[in-house]
Each structure stands twice: as structure tokens, then as C-alpha cells.
Amino acid sequence: MNSTLFQNKSVLLTGGTGSFGYQFANLVLKKYKPKRLVIFSRDELKQFEMSQHINHPNVRFFIGDVRDEGRLQRAMNVGIDIVIHAAALKQVATAEYNPIECIKTNVLGAENIINVSINSNVKKVIAISTDKAVNPINLYGASKLCSDKLFIAANNLSGKSGTKFSVVRYGNVVASRGSVIPFFKEQRASGTIPITDKRMTRFWITVNQGAQFAANCSELMRGGEIFIKKSPSMKIIDLAKAIAPECKQKEIGIRQGEKLHETMLSKSDAINTREFKQFYITKINSGLWNKGNFVNYNREKPKKLVDEFEYSSNTNKEWVNANQIKEFIN
């Protein structure tokens, strides 16, 4: 999509020094020519390191935490048009052990983004979500489900400001921070790769694909959508085989808060969802589909899903095998 959405616009990117943030910043600067790109994060070292690779006159690095509403207000005082909200505490085990800290960032931080965006007359806000927000069994997933609900409901609060809020959801990002790939590579020397459960499956998406999807959805959004990217699935045993084909695989048991398979669209939400060529769109208020301005996205006619449809990693129609995985990670 050759969008002009970001051209001559001021963009605030929270969590801007993370894996997604780094890729999104590069994408926007190379393809869309924004007036200003504000990298908002709380890690000064990561900001310094990122500034060594992204040396652009339109980039501003801003130290801050989404928990701090006043600091967010200061960052948006420059006249921000679009907010891409990627800041989150996302490690499942960390969230289980530090639940209140997870809620402060993922839930209360989302509330701060909403309030300051409305007060600052921001035009569009895209919140980055995760497949773990669907039928969550861990605190991280539950906090992101709550965050998603807040952003969708925020469309009822914007009033005269007219701020629009939407959510982008996709699965595990390959080789992002916290990915299992570096761990598997470290274990090669031992001759054994530990696998929690050999039946485990996950969705497969690259950080570049995630960043481009978020950019595209920023153009398509009208407010109130959850955009769900279609992605192939992979078996965890194929990932281990691609990284270390010479190693044995040892099953060690599933961890606390971990699912055997991930789901990006539940049967319950599928009722309020329509299918498009490259994604699904969920609208909590299904009546919106009956309004003319909600019929077409990207000049596509929406397709109603069959009864009891569910989009899960183990029942997905599209898969990547060990050889395809190997081509990407090597």
C-alpha cells in the first residue's frame, strides 16, 4: 500500500526502541516521509543505540513512560497527528511474577494514551496487540485483552476531538526480543534442544511484516476495528529442527501461563468479524457492518465467516515447514 497517511504528519511511537518500534521507525522514514517522528521510550541506552543507526533530521528521541500521563502530554504537545502504541510489558513469566507492574504499563498506560490523545486532538491511534489477548490464560494476555477493550471503547469518548482508535493483532514475531530463537541457538552446543511440548504450534510473522501491517491499518482504520493479520503457522519442533537439525529434542513440559496453541480469533468474536484477503476485522458492535461507510476496506467486499469459525495456530490452513524456517533465520 502506497499510503500518504504519514506524509508531512507528526507521529508518536511508544515503545519506540523495541523490536517493532525500530522496524516501524525505519519503515516510516524510508517510505512515508513524516514531518516528525517522536520515539517515546523509557530506556536511554536503547535510545542512544538507536540514534546511532537512525540519524534523521525529523526524528526526536523522548524519554518517558506510558505510566506517566504528564510526560505523555508533554510529548504530544508538539501537535501529534498519529499515535502508534507499542509500549508493553510482554514477557509472560515476568508478568506472572510482577502482576501489578504489568497492569500499570499495559492497562493504566493504555488509559493514559487514550486520555492524552483525546486531549491533544490526535487524529488516529493504533494499538499493537497480541494473539495472547484471545482467551487469555496468563496475566500478560489478560492485560492486553483489557487494553484492547479500552482502545475500542475509547471511540465513544473522543467527542469533539474526533480521535479514532483501532487495534492491530498478530502472533509471535520471529527473532524479536524475547523470541525463543536465540535460546535455541545457544543450546546447540549442548547437543540437546529443550522443547516444552512437541505438539506446540505458533503463528509466524516477521517484525517487518508486523510493522507494515500496522502502517497499512493506520490508513484503513475508521475507528473501532481490531485488525487481525492472516499468518502461517509453524510447529515448535520444526523451528528447533531448522535451527539445530543435528540436536536431540527433549520435552520438558509446558510452562506456567503458556498455551499449547495460540488463537487470534475466537468463535465468540468471529460472529462480529469479517474476512478480507490478507486480514480479518472484528467490530464489537456488529451493527456497524450495516452502515455504508463500513462496507469496503482496501476496495474489498467483506466476507462473513462460517458458524463456529476460529482462527487458531493448530487449525490454520497455511504453514511454514522446517526448510522454509531455515531459509529465513540463516
DSSP for 112-123? Answer: HHHHHHHHTT-S
Burial call 189-225: b when 16+ CB within 10 Å, e when fewer? eeeebbbebeebbbbbbebebbbbbbbbbbbbbebbb
35 is an active site residue? no
Helix (H, G, I), strand (E, B) or coil at 324: helix
**Cell numbers for 276:** 478480507
Contact status, residue 251 vs residue 198, Cβ threshold 8 Å: yes
Q: Could you tell me whether strands 164-169 and 201-203 are parallel, antiparallel, or unpaired per DSSP bridges?
A: unpaired
User: How many Cβ atoms are within 10 Å of 187's Cβ, its own excluded?
Assistant: 17
Burial environment of residue 168 by CB neighbours within 10 A (0 to 12, 13 to 18, 19 or more): buried
What is the Cα–Cα distance from 212 to 229, expressed in whole angstroms? 11
Q: Which of 9, 90, 124, 132 is catalytic?
A: 132
For residue 46, the surrounding DSSP H or E stretch is: helix 44-53
Residue of 124, 139, 276 whose CA lies nearest to 215: 124
What is the Cα–Cα distance from 154 to 134, expressed in whole angstroms? 20
Helix (H, G, I), strand (E, B) or coil at 250: strand
User: How many Cβ atoms are within 10 Å of 142's Cβ, its own excluded?
Assistant: 20
**Residues noted as catalytic:** 132
